Structure 1
Amino acid sequence: MKKYTITLIPGDGIGPDVTRAAQIVLDAADVGIEWEVVEAGAGVIEKYGTPLPDQVLESIRRNKVALKGPLTTPVGTGFRSVNVALRKELDLFANVRPAKNLPAVNTPYRNVDLIVVRENTEDLYAGIEHMVGKDAAESIKIITRPGSERIVRFAFELARREGRKKVTAVHKANIMKCTDGLFLEVAREVAADYPDIEFEDRIVDACSMKLVQRPEDFDVLVMPNLYGDILSDLCAGLVGGLGVAPGANIGKDYAVFEPVHGSAPKYTGMDKVNPLATILSGVMMLKHLGEREAAERVQKAVDDVLTEGKYLTYDLGGTARASEMAKAIAGRL
């Protein structure tokens, strides 16, 4: 059997609970994963003097793949986001967020099955900003041709690999003619290389409305950083919220898989929070490793446990602990 050494970053708050649940399931999938556990986040600042110790980056560079729990980021003050730092240090330029309806997860929407591909390193979200005097602040929006080309090409390659039929480029090029105009121009150029996949573009505000009205019209969406940050959460809302929203940050050499939700400090150590977002991030990780059959088995086990309805966490209307839900899924494997 092939062996995989995977970096595991438990994270802050509920992170250790949900990553432990994912370990239970992924170990039961029996694909030969060995875990290398490293610490990062607000909880290790006192110990290491930084939320992102060098050994974390060294471990990911060595193993190429990581599974990460949520990390706390202060609002307005304090250290910059560890997630943003990881993306920059490892050049994880593609953020991938699937949104798909799950059995027994109640939502007004049905037949949602789409993927948001978000550029991860440029745009306003890169945080290049400064004060202008004491009464004004300025943020710089940077869009580059190479950055746009690699994210759009990534989206088309993902669509082809996953058997998707359409890619939608999302932008605001009607107003931001230079920055978003460049992104759209590049998207159209790249689309010409993929005649087997339908291409369209949507202005971001109109796209937001259409996602709520007819989400089934969308397949793969690709967009600059800030729009991706916002619309990927909207798409998570269509299928039940952040508790069931997996994610990945992928670059040329490295990939970090993680749930989209935050660290929920008030639930620390309670083994209470829904672990599905982390488990489904593990499904994405298995696909990335080429273990598609195992990924499909885990997905089916998740669906079976949700359909049965016996081991559901509080947010899904049940009373099960995160570890109990994970063990039930593992039992199906």
Structure 2
Amino acid sequence: MYKISLITGDGIGPELSESAVSVINAINDKLGLKFDVTKLSAGDKALKESGKALPDETVDTIKKSDACLKAPVGESAADVIVVLRRILDLYANIRPAKSYPHMPALRDDIDMVIVRENTEDLYTGKEFSLGDSAVALRIISENASKRIAKYAFETAKQRNSTKKVTCVHKSNVMRITDGLFARSCTEVSKNYPDILFEQMYVDACAMNLIRQPEQFDVIVTTNLFGDILSDESSQVVGGLGMAPAANIGDNFALFEPVHGAAFDIAGKNIANPSSFLLSIKMMLDWLGAKNNDSKCLEVGQKLESTIFNLVKTGVKTKDIGGTKSTSEFTQAITNML
């Protein structure tokens, strides 16, 4: 029995959470795995009701669980996910970008993963005023850089792909900070002689994600660059609705869709739940690897292939030009499982 904490979020978050629970219940009933899901509050609604975007009891429950699923939250997102990353030392942000049928991808052969350092860079929030100027501190450490580089190479080693790692930085301008990141990745690459290693400036990478996205396998980069490039790569394969993400540390992991709370369509039962359901697939993969549980790995592959086969038939939710509601799309997934 795996204990899963579920932050239900804001906007379309509660609807996606219901979709996730339905799929997990189907896995419980049909596929021989057992999950106990505890719903938790965090985000704008929690802030309004309790005065804290991330209540202490939510954090305590997450720490006692085997993994966490997080639906999108609203304006208080930084006070939720950024804080959880630090508390739980979730240093690797993993964002796959893959072409799915009947989605407006640039090509049908895109299959990449962005491995983003998740704990430092400008996202430490160390800002201050200095006279009439505003100053932000950009912190890049050797330890964090080597740790994320190792994760990227291990990811490439496990993938059925070209086994290539692209280190993305801007060391020609930020010679000290990005220079340290580039050197750290280069040093780690020496431990993986069977994996192709290349370096690319972030502006060139942004261009090549549009020009030749099929050439990328695993991209490793710093926090801010990774945030921007992963949204770009998601759009390259058709939009954020098919984009899952994982925040992974040595002992814990949190899984979430890349997109936001989409308040404009909240409550309409039209949101595409695929990104959250694919996040469940990533959770199953992580639990399987961590616990040597082949059943988790098997079910994760089955869930992804089920989503792939459903959208291959042209089934879509209304928010992306289809005819199905969120609940109808979810029902189709559970029926196929």
Q: TM-score, normalised by structure 2?
A: 0.93
Contact residue 301 and residue 330 of structure 1 kept, 8 A: no
- What are the superposed Cα offsets for residues 61-86 of structure 1, whole Å, 9 maximum, x if unpaired? 11131011001125xxxx95311111
Q: Match for 2:284: what amino acid?
A: L
* 1:99 alignment counterpart: 97
Q: State the shift of 1:196 in Å.
A: 1.7
Match of residue 89 from structure 1: 87
Q: Distance in 2 between matches of 1:39 and 1:7?
A: 10
User: What do residues 161-188 of structure 1 show as CA deviations (whole Å, max 9, x unaligned)?
Assistant: 2344111110001111110000010101
Between the two proteins, the alignment pairs up a number of residues equal to 325
Kept after mapping to 2: 8 A contact 1:302/1:329? yes
- The counterpart of 1:308, out of the listed 308, 313, 316, is 313
Within the alignment, does 1:69 sit opposite 2:66 as a pair?
Answer: no
TM-score, normalised on structure 1? Answer: 0.94
Question: Any gaps of 5 or more consecutive residues in structure 2?
Answer: 289-295
Query: Is 1:160 aligned with 2:160?
Result: no
Unmatched runs of 5 consecutive residues or more in structure 1? none
Indicate conservation of the 8 Å contact 1:96/1:249, yes or no. Answer: yes
Mapped partners of 1:103, 1:286: distance in 2:
23
Deviation string 1:217-249 (CA, Å, 9 cap, x unpaired) is: 110000000000100001001111111110011
Cα offset for 1:320?
A: 1.0
Select 2:230's aligned residue among 215, 229, 232: 232
Q: Which amino acid aligns with 2:225?
A: Y
Aligned equivalents of 1:82, 1:69: Cα separation in 2: 11
Give the distance between the partners of 1:265 and 1:64, measured in 2 at CA: 30
Partner of 1:328: 332
What's the secondary structure of 1:137's corresponding residue? strand
What is the DSSP-based 3-state SS (H/G/I as helix, E as strand, rest coil) of the residue aligned with 1:248? strand
Identify which of 12, 15, 18 aligns with 2:16. Answer: 18
Identity of aligned residues (%): 44
Show CA shifts across 1:85-127 (max 9, x none).
1111111111000000011112232211000010011111222
- Confirm or deny: 8 A CA contact 2:270 2:319 kept in the other structure: no
State the SS of the aligned residue for 1:294: helix
Give the aligned residue type for 1:140: L
Deviation (angstroms), 1:156 = 1.0
Q: RCO greater where, 1 or 2, for CA within 8 Å and sep 6 or more?
A: 1
Partner deviation per Cα, 1:151-210 (whole Å, 9 max, x = no partner): 111111122223441111100011111100000101011011111211111111111111
Q: Could you give the per-residue CA deviations for residues 270-323 of structure 1, whole angstroms, max 9, x where no partner exists?
A: 2211111101111111111111110111111111211222x4212332121111
Would you say the 8 A contact 1:21–1:275 is kept in 2? yes
Contact 1:71–1:83 at 8 Å: present in 2 too? no
Residue 246 of structure 1 is matched in structure 2 by 244
Contact in 1 for aligned 2:54/2:79 (Cα 8 Å): no
- 1:192 is aligned to 190
The 1-side partners of 2:332 and 2:66 are apart by 30
Cα pair 1:70 1:263 within 8 Å, conserved: yes
Cα RMSD after superposing both structures: 1.3
| SS, match of residue 5 in structure 2 | strand
State the SS of the aligned residue for 1:175: coil
Instruction: Name the counterpart of 2:291.
Output: none
